[in-house]
Amino acid sequence: MIARTVSQKLGINIDHVATLRQARLGEEPSVLEAAIEAEQGGADSITVHLREDRRHIQDADVFELAEKIYVPLNLEMSVSAGILKIALKVSPEKACLVPEKRKELTTEGGLDLFSKRNPLIRTIDALLAKKVDVSLFIDPVEDQVREAARLGAYAIEIHTGSYANAVGKKKEKELLRIRRAARLGRELGLRVHAGHGLNYENIFPLLAVPEIIEFNIGHSIVSRAMFVGIARAVQEMKKIITSGKC
C-alpha cells in the first residue's frame, strides 16, 4: 500500500472510444455516453484530443461534451491556429498543449517549449484571456519545467511514456527524472499532472510522488472497459489512486 500524502485526481481520456467509432464512420460507440459512464465511475475530468487530422475526436464531440458533461473538460490540442479557434469557441475548463505529428500512432513525447516559443505564447495568452487553465505536456526535463513557468502556464503534465516503456534500472532512472521535474514544478508554483502509458500496475510508484496532483489516463482504462465496462474500469483506477492499493 502507498502512503497517501495528497489528494490526487483522475482524468479519463476517451479518445479511443472515438477511434472505435471512426473505424466504421458511424455513431457507435457514443463518446458522450462514454464520458457519462466515466463520470459515474468517479472521473474527476474528461480529456479528449482534437487532433488536426481528426482521426478520432471530432469537432462536434468537443462541443457536445462541453455542453453536457458535469466534470471539467480537458482539451488536448496543438498550437495550430485552426484548433485554437475551435478551443476559444468551446472555452473548456482546461486545455493541455501537446506536440502533434501526422504519422504518429500516439503522442511520442513532450513539447519542446524553446523551439515553439512564439506560437506557444500566442496560444497560451489567447486561452488565458478566456479563463482556460493551460497546462503544457512536457518531458521530465528541468529546463522545460522552468520554461513552462516562464511562459505563464497554470500546470505541466509530465510525459510518462518513457517511464512506462522502460524496464529494470532504466525504469528507476526515468522515475527519478519524473520526481525531480515534479518537485521543481511545484517549487516554481506550477500544478503538476502526469500521463501517457500509465496502467493499473505501473502507476503505483508515481502515487508516491506528492507533487503530482492529477493523472490523465486513457488507453489502459478503455482497454479494461472492453471486459468490465467503462464505469467499473474507472472505479478500479480511481480506487488505486485514492487508496494506493488495488
Asked if omega into 210 is within 30° of 0 (cis), the reply is no
- Taking alpha carbons only, the member of 163, 120, 171 closest to residue 140 is 163
- Helix pair angle (81-90, 59-68), 10° resolution: 20
Catalytic member of 157, 174, 196, 211: 196
User: Could you give the 3-state DSSP secondary structure of residue 97?
Assistant: strand
Residue 76 catalytic?
yes
Catalytic member of 49, 56, 159, 193: 49
- The DSSP symbol for 106 reads S
SS3 content of the chain, % helix, strand, coil (to 5): 45, 15, 35
Residue 49 catalytic?
yes
Residue 16 catalytic?
no
Catalytic member of 76, 147, 174, 211: 76
Residues annotated as catalytic (active site), given as ranges = 49, 76, 196
